[in-house]
Structure 1
Amino acid sequence: MQLADLTPAERRVWRAFPKGQSVGFGPGDEEAVHGGSWGPARTVRAEVLRSLLLNGSRADGEIAGLWIVGGRISGLLDLSDAVLEHSVRLLGCHFERPPILYGARTRRLNLRSSYLPALDAVSLQVDGHLRLSGCEIPGQVRLGGARLAGALFLDGARIGDSDGDEGEEILQFDHGAVENDLSAAGAVIHGRFTLTGSTVGGNLDFDRAELRAPGHVALDAENLAVGGHLSGEGLRAQGTVNLRGATITRHLDLVSARLSAPGATALRATSCTIGELWLRGAAPIEGAVNLRRSHVEIVFAEPRVWPERVGLDGLTYRSLLPPLPAAERLALLEREDLGYVPHPYEQLAGAYRLAGDDAAARTVQLAKQRRRRATLPWYARCWGHVQDVTVGYGFRPMRAAVWLVALMLTAATAYGLHRPQPLKPGEAPDFNPVFYTLDLLLPIIDFGQEKAFKPRGWHQWLAYLLVVLGWVLATTIVAGVTRAVSRQ
């Protein structure tokens, strides 16, 4: 391409390229979305930029590069499979047609605050950062398989069209890799953002972002791997946030977030490995939450955050914050949409035991037995009620002690009024109704009364009942004492 074939605006760009100098068009405070009306003084043909990037010269002792601010790029900028030795900075520019960077490789690509109808950059390789901060892109952004040695910046970008199909895959970064951070703070995305199988070496930032895909999947990040934390403080997500199989080394921060997917699953984080899950100050979640088979070290969530339907079977964690009585946590377990499953109760009881609160752990275990009772046949439910009332399924050992004392007083009174006959008159010791009753109730202690006297009639049936109840109640008390000693 000859210099004589260029417009005045293009000559400025051509002369600045060998030294990597910037070329600014216009006052610099105009929005690039309105750049379609910019005239020839601010217009550069895409074929000129392509010629510079592929064949442009470099001044001695200088670092060449393309740097345009506030220009209108007319025509199609097609850099498919190109290897660019120069940095590309097109800031606040208006692209007439979607640029194509399929399979391209460049040192650094900065399109900050630009307008692009769409972007095709599948398998793009960038040796530094890719900046799309503040960009307006109503069409699809395809970055699948991209490899970025630096970071990906989407801060404040507006991607997708509010009048379009919000269920469409609008921002694709499947199987991509970012060695540093991926930041989409304050971004507004209409449609589905896919990160399936991608790797982010640093942090993934969705602070104050808006993901809008009502009735669809807003964020599809199955098998995502994040080396740092995934921050969504103040995130607004309309549609499902899908993190199935994700690995988040540090924490999943949804502080003050608002997740909404009425009639569907608002948060799916099944089979995940997460350092910490933070829902502090989040709005009540609209839609179901599914955390099955995941492992989280710490879960921070107030009870009011959880929806009416949750999936907790297989979820493991070490501790729950803030510290709350067991009664305030049990309501969540009753919302398991599979009905009664034992694991969530065992996990919650284990967390309380790990925190040293054995009383709360027993409360959870008792609630588990009561919930299980509703799934049993009628005769098993009747027996369950008996166990509950008498000994609290063994988790209320002091209740057993009270029953023992009540039985002892009742039986001692009965045998005091109607003394049983001695088996061998003249050889039997003096009858004592209290110690006789204790002989019947306590399976190990022997005061010699039971062997010396033989009750008759209903007193004999009372003796049988005392022996059976004695074994049950004494065993319950011993189990409670054993648990207390083992804690020490």
Structure 2
Amino acid sequence: MSAGADGGWDNATVEAPGDDVPDWLPPLSRAERRLWDAFPYGATVEYLSGDPDLDDPARAARWGEERTIRAAVIAALALGARRPVPGRTAGVRIIGARVVGQIDLRHGQIEVPLTLRRCRIEDTLRLDEAVAKSIDLTGSHTGRIMAEGAHVRGSLKLNDVRVVGGPDFALHLDEITVDTDLAARALHCDGPLCLIGARIGAVLDLIRCTVHYPGKIAVNLGGAQIGRSLLFGYAHIRGQLRMPGAQVDGMALFSGTEITDAAAAHGIALEGENFTTGGDGLFDKGFRAEGQVALIGANFGGVLSFRDAHLVSVGSSAALHCGGMQVARGLYLTHGFHAEGEVRLVGVRIGGHLDLVGMAPNRGPITLYHAAAATIRDGGPETWPQEVLLDGLTYNAFDPYLPGRERLALLRRQHGGYRAQPYEFMAAYYRALGHEEDARAVLIEKERVRRTDGRRWDRFVGMMFGTLVGYGYRPMRAVLFSILIQLAAIGYFTVDRPTQIRPDEHVVYYPALYAADLFVPIVHFGQVDAFQSHGFAAVVAWGLPYLGWAFGIAIVAGASRALARGGSGLPG
């Protein structure tokens, strides 16, 4: 027994047990005999010509009989038609062969490794409900692979494989169990890839894979369970990527992936409802989706990053929809993140940063309705889009800290008109830090916006109320105005003295008391009973009581609001 000069298997001195070919199997060709004789020893049989161009599986039509094996021969060996040599690990190990016919291993117990590398498998590989050891199809071109409910007790290698599917399936691996890795790096699949309910013990590696099924569900990982990592980086998917309910114990990597041609699938490029990962979710480094990325109810145990991602919505749908999502460590919409459509973060819970630094300009609105974040890192209001919805948003801090007046630019971008909660919460945030003046600035802006949305008369009253007492948040302003009006009235009535009503009575005229009698509500010094103004002075005397009542009410209202506000803190 020896290796041939071409690196293949030389069977000239083979003396293996059980050499007889079963009666039901047709006579073997020379190429098949080489495989048959190598099997008991687990030796690799090469059928390569040495010419890289000719050995490309895409050129298998030019391969002759010396490189052609019937699928029935491979199935017979895999299912135990020959016994192994004692002390050796038997196996079907082929490089560079053309396999004709369907490899039917359904429901079989495959006790040997199955390796068909750089081969051309012209028909379907059937492994439905089979139990197998490791399977390696690296570099091969094949028809459909059907392995629903199969159990691979080692690894399944589909690296650099090209699968030409039918109208319904190309890779049908629903409910498959792979004890270690499913490695499909640089896989090219002309048709859908289905891994619904799959259980992968360690890593599902789909880096640089290409799946073409435009307008339909191209990749389906619904309910899949992955023991360590999901690696889906730098892939190109034409069609929809679905992974609802999928669970990944470690990291989920989608960096650099591009999802296109999903418009017919309800405009959703990536459907990840209730997707769960124990580590980071990375949709960064040029990740692109033409259609909505929906992560409703998803849960990320680490960070969720969309750094440098580009999301394009279809129609009126949101570009990123993350309702009810939970992120343990931080959500990053940073460093060139661009969304052509709404970023909808309704009810999200973020344990660390909501990081918006470096978002691309001219992006769609962002909705944070009833969202919560430990810290919002934004670099200032100019980072935010022109339209925001912050109603119900709660946070512990802004990074960087800016004075209240500089944060008003963000609140003014509120979509849909006046909302009270964003102002109240921001004011409470500043008050909790001991910055009462900043809190007042926010609350004054709140009242200004609220009254701006009212009727004309309400707007006029609001403008006056805001000017005089800062909508009740600056009562000392009314006190100051009152003092100035009182001093002006004293000066005026000093120059333009009123006439004594009863000249025969001896009453001393005091301009200060006369002005106070007119302007200060309730207080009475008797001056207006003894003296009377005429002409323009009478008009002034008539108007002062009304101003006095207006300022008195404003001062009382402002003081009451200040007292009621004294014990308030940050909302829960």
Shorter chain as normaliser: what TM range? 0.7 to 0.9
Q: Distance in 1 between matches of 2:172 and 2:461?
A: 73
Give the Cα separation in 1 of the matches to 2:206 and 2:376. Answer: 34
Q: Please tell me whether residue 113 in structure 1 is matched to residue 182 in structure 2.
A: no
Tell me the equivalent position of 1:271: 347
Distance 1:281 1:6, change over 3 A: farther
**Structure 1 residues 362 and 311 mapped into 2: Cα distance closer, same or farther (>3 Å)?**
same
User: In 2, distance between residues paired with 1:272 and 1:358?
Assistant: 30
**What SS class does the counterpart of residue 286 from structure 1 fall into?**
coil
1:36 and 2:62 are equivalent in the alignment: no
> Are residues 1:198 and 2:275 paired?
yes
Distance in 1 between residues matched to 2:453 and 2:335, nearest whole Å:
38
C-alpha displacement of 1:220? 1.4
Between 1:74-83 and 1:92-101, the stretch displaced more is: 92-101
Extract unaligned runs of 5+ from structure 1: 161-167
Q: Is the 8 A contact 2:471 2:558 kept in 1?
A: no
Task: Name 1:410's counterpart in structure 2.
Answer: 488
Query: Does the CA contact (< 8 Å) of 2:203 and 2:229 recur in 1?
Result: yes
Structure 2 gap ranges (5+): 1-20, 68-94, 115-131, 263-268, 314-318
- Residues 421, 16 of structure 1: alpha-carbon distance in 2 compared, 3 angstrom cutoff: farther
**Range moving further from structure 2, 277-286 or 471-480:** 471-480
State the AA in 2 paired with 1:178.
V
1-structure distance, mates of 2:45, 2:346: 49
User: Which of 281, 288, 296 is matched with 1:222 structurally?
Assistant: 296
1:253 aligned partner: 332
Separation in structure 2 between the aligned mates of residue 450 and residue 466 of structure 1, nearest angstrom: 18
Measured after TM superposition, the shift of residue 55 of structure 1 is 0.8
Give the corresponding residue for 1:56. 111
What are the Cα deviations for residues 68-114 of structure 1, in whole angstroms up to 9, with x where unaligned? 54x21423221111122121123223234322111111113111122
Which secondary structure state, in structure 1, belongs to the residue aligned with residue 259 of structure 2? Answer: strand
- Structure-2 separation of matches of 1:485 and 1:403: 24
Match of residue 164 from structure 1 = none
Work out which of the residue numbers 285, 293, 305 in structure 2 matches 1:208.
285
Conserved in 1, the CA contact under 8 Å of 2:469 and 2:555?
no
Equivalent residue for 2:444? 366
Letter in 1 for 2:58: G
Instruction: Compute the TM-score of the two structures, normalised by the length of structure 2.
Output: 0.69
Matches within 5 A, 1:365-384: 365-384=443-462
Corresponding residue number in structure 2 for 1:138: 212
Match of 2:149 among 76, 81, 98: 81
Is residue 2:169 matched to residue 1:100?
A: no
The counterpart of 1:187, out of the listed 257, 262, 272, is 257
Aligned to 1:300: 377
- Measured at CA, do residues 249 and 8 of structure 1 come closer, stay the same or move farther in structure 2, by a change above 3 Å? farther
Aligned residue number for residue 197 of structure 2: 123
In structure 2, relative to structure 1, the CA distance for the partners of 1:26 and 1:119 (3 Å cut) is farther
Distance in 2, matches of 1:81 and 1:335, equals 53
Of the three residues 233, 240, 244, the one matched with 2:323 is 244
Aligned to 1:341: 419
Give how far 1:43 is off. 4.7
Per-residue deviation, residues 319-344 of structure 1 (Å, max 9, x unmatched)? 22333343443333333331222222
Write the distance in 1 (CA, Å) between the matches of 2:45 and 2:542: 103
User: Distance in 2 between the 1:342 and 1:22 partners?
Assistant: 76
SS in 2 for 1:343: helix
TM-score, length-scaled by structure 1: 0.79
Over the aligned positions, Cα root-mean-square deviation in angstroms equals 4.2
Please state whether the residue corresponding to 2:395 is helix, strand or coil. strand
Q: Which of structures 1 and 2 has the larger relative contact order (alpha carbons within 8 angstroms, sep 6+)?
A: 1
Are 1:475 and 2:556 matched, yes or no? yes
Q: 1:370 to 1:420 in 2, by over 3 A?
A: farther
Report how far residue 223 of structure 1 moved: 1.2
The whole-number CA distance in structure 2 between the counterparts of 1:438 and 1:381 is 31
- 1:440·1:470 contact (CA, 8 Å) conserved in 2? no
Contact 1:53/1:66 (<8 A) preserved: no
Partners of 1:379 and 1:333 lie apart in 2 by 25
Q: When the two structures are aligned, how many residues end up with a matched partner?
A: 460
Q: How has the CA–CA distance of structure 1 residues 210 and 375 changed in structure 2, closer, same or farther, with 3 Å as cutoff? A: same
Identity of aligned residues (%): 23
Query: 2: CA distance between counterparts of 1:374 and 1:436?
Result: 39
- Report deviation, 1:389: 2.0
2:171 counterpart SS class:
coil
1:80, 1:102 within 8 Å by CA — same for their partners in 2?
yes
